[in-house]
Structures are given as structure tokens and as C-alpha cells.
């Protein structure tokens, strides 16, 4: 190296360090403090979501001779968030941190505290988007989570309890982690970088300082990290955020098709060299898949140029495409491949 300075070194020193990288990233990681109220109604009917929507109207509560506000308890939550758009003041965090929030404060890395507006949330991925009005904001640049591989170094950055940033380092232990029963759409990055209480909603960055995940949970007794931390991939988080900013919610789509994984037996029968993809078992009459020309027995190999691992991968990918958008499918049928164009329909649509 001829004595050249290492990429992560103090000026005039050749000792490796992540300090310069963290100086660039940590201003974009903030503390989230929320205060709210969790209602507790004694009548079991009040647990029904439809009834609860009506009971949010104070005039109806007075008509039914109910208290203006249901009995309950105060809810406080402290966690982290990531500024992803400095110009618009958009902050990504976990939905569970602000689920019952009536007031949300964002504490910036320089100690400033600003009120936040909730733009929207997505229960199924545990993501929420906040908006803050402030000058001199620093955003964390987006990275491409699809490029992550097991063994890559990653850094978890949080701002717990308003005490300032905490930084832990580890590797990617697994990708595409699912079946944990935590969220509706699971496609977690698993890392051994410690994600302790208060760091949920913070940033998972690569060695370029790019955002590759939003920290969401840890496995361990009492919430203490034992080397199993989970993060929502940045590519998923970015698409969710874009829909929330535009619509205020996530409009999930579907193909109108029932698919199963490609088993070794199916792969052999069709002469495929791998088990990747999803085989079509059933079509919804009049659905998007039928209109696009898909047939039972077709094997969907790729969506928008991305090779599909299995049926779950297809479901996750479709759920992140906006309703009404066109998508391209690479399909294997009768010994050859063909490309089909399909218009994504709304989830549960019967049109």
C-alpha cells in the first residue's frame, strides 16, 4: 500500500477506524419520544375495530352516555428513527414505537427537539413515516439491501432514551429471514450487531455508510441482544415509505393467483436446473393473472427482472408494487420461457 492511508483512518494515522464514517451517519439518526393513551373498555364489544371507530366520535359517546374519554393508561415509548429525506423532513421509524402516540417528539443529534407529524404507518411491516419541520437536517443515504450477502459487515446505529447515538458492529448472519410470527410481511435481515432496547427504528448501514435496513427487533431474554438482531431491508422500507408519503397508507397488490414452491420433484419433471420460482396452482376468475395469460402449471421464474426464490418471495415482491402498475413476469411453460405483462390489482379485488 506504500504507506497510504486506509479508507477508515484518522487524518495522519494508518490505524483503521469507523469514526469518520460514523461522523457522517450519526447526525441522521434521531431519538423518538412519544406519549399517548391506551384505552381500556370493560365491555368486550369495544374490542371490535369497527365499533372502536364509531366510539372515537365524542358526540356518539355522549349520546350513549359514555365518558368523553374511555378509561385506560398512559403510554410512553422511546426509540430511534432515521432521517431519510432532509429537504422534506421525512423520518422512518418503527410503528410499534408510536402506535398509541398522541404527541411525538424527535430529538436531533445536536440536542434540538422538534414535534413530529405522523404521515402514515404500515402495521404489516412495522414501519411509520414522520415529518418534521427543521433546518440543518442530515439524511442517511439509501443503500441497496438486495446486494447484501451473509458475512457482509454492517453497523447498527441508534439514539436510545435521548442520551445520544450508540453504535454497534457485526455481520449479516442471514437474509430473507421469515416465519417468526412478528409481522405480516417478513423478510428480515438478521445480524449479530447488538440492537438493544431503544435502538428499534434506528439505522443499519454498510461500510459505505448507506442505509441497508431499519432495525426493528432483537431476540433475547428481556429484550437484551444475544446476537440475533433483525432489520427491515431498506428496499422494502423505501417502497413502503413512498406509498405512505403519496397515499397516507400502503395499497398492496396481488396477482389473483395461488402459487406454491417449486419442489425438487417439480423441478425434475419440468427439466429445470434449480428449485427457484413459484408454480401456479390456481387462478382467480377474471383476476390479473388470468387476464395476463397465465395458466395453471406455469412456473413464475422472475418478476421485473428479479429472480424469485420461492412463492413467499413472489408474494412479498407483489405486495410492494403499487396497484395499477404494470409488471413483467418471466414464465416457464412447456419447456420454454416467455415474458408476460401483468397489471397489479388491489389486494382482495374481485374486478
| Catalytic center residues | 96, 126, 200
Residue 56 DSSP class? T
Residue identified by cell 443529534 is 109
Which residues, at least 6 apart from 116, have a Cβ–Cβ distance to it below 8 Å? 32, 91, 104, 105, 106, 130, 131, 132
Under DSSP, is residue 174 helix (H, G, I), strand (E, B) or coil? Answer: strand
CA distance 278 to 290: 16
306, 321 contact by CB (below 8 A): no
Q: Which three cell numbers stand for residue 243?
A: 406509498
Distance between CA atoms of residues 106 and 318, nearest Å: 33
180 closest CA partner among 312, 307, 314: 312
3-state secondary structure of 60: helix
Numbers of helices and strands, H then E, in the chain: 8, 20
- Backbone φ and ψ of 111, nearest 5°: 95, -10
Q: Which of 159, 107, 163, 106 is nearest to 129 (CA)?
A: 106
Amino acid at each position: 500500500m506504500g504507506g497510504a492511508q486506509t479508507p477508515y483512518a484518522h487524518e495522519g494515522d494508518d490505524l483503521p477506524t469507523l469514526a469518520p464514517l460514523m461522523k457522517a451517519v450519526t447526525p441522521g439518526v434521531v431519538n423518538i419520544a412519544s406519549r399517548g393513551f391506551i384505552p381500556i373498555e370493560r365491555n368486550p364489544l369495544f374490542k371490535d375495530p369497527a365499533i372502536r371507530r364509531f366510539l372515537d366520535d365524542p358526540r356518539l359517546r355522549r349520546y350513549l352516555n359514555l365518558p368523553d374519554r374511555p378509561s385506560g393508561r398512559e403510554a410512553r415509548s422511546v426509540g430511534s428513527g432515521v432521517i431519510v429525506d432532509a429537504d422534506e423532513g421525512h423520518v422512518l421509524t418503527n410503528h410499534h414505537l408510536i402506535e398509541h402516540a398522541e404527541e411525538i417528539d424527535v430529538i436531533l443529534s445536536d440536542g434540538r427537539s422538534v414535534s413530529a407529524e405522523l404521515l402514515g404507518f404500515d402495521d404489516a411491516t412495522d414501519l411509520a413515516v414522520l415529518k418534521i419541520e427543521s433546518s440543518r437536517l442530515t439524511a442517511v443515504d439509501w443503500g441497496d439491501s438486495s446486494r447484501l450477502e451473509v458475512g457482509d459487515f454492517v453497523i447498527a446505529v441508534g439514539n436510545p432514551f435521548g442520551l445520544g447515538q450508540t453504535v454497534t458492529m457485526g455481520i449479516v448472519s442471514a437474509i430473507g429471514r421469515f416465519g417468526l410470527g412478528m409481522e405480516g410481511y417478513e423478510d428480515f435481515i438478521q445480524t449479530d450487531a447488538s440492537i438493544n432496547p431503544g435502538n428499534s427504528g434506528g439505522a443499519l448501514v454498510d461500510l459505505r455508510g448507506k442505509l441497508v435496513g431499519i432495525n426493528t427487533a432483537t431476540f433475547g431474554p428481556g429484550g437484551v441482544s444475544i446476537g440475533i438482531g433483525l432489520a427491515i431491508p431498506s428496499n422494502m422500507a423505501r417502497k413502503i415509505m413512498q406509498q405512505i408519503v403519496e397515499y397516507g397508507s400502503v395499497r398492496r397488490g396481488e396477482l389473483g393467483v395461488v402459487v406454491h414452491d417449486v419442489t425438487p420433484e417439480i423441478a425434475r419433471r419440468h427439466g429445470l436446473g434449480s428449485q427457484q420460482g413459484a408454480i401456479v396452482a390456481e387462478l382467480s376468475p377474471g383476476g390479473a393473472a388470468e387476464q395476463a395469460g397465465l395458466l395453471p402449471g406455469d412456473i413464475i421464474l422472475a418478476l421485473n427482472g428479479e429472480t424469485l426464490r420461492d412463492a413467499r418471495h413472489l408474494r412479498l415482491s407483489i405486495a410492494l408494487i403499487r396497484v395499477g402498475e404494470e409488471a413483467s413476469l418471466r414464465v416457464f411453460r412447456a419447456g420454454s420461457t416467455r415474458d408476460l405483462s401483468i397489471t397489479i390489482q388491489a389486494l382482495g379485488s374481485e374486478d
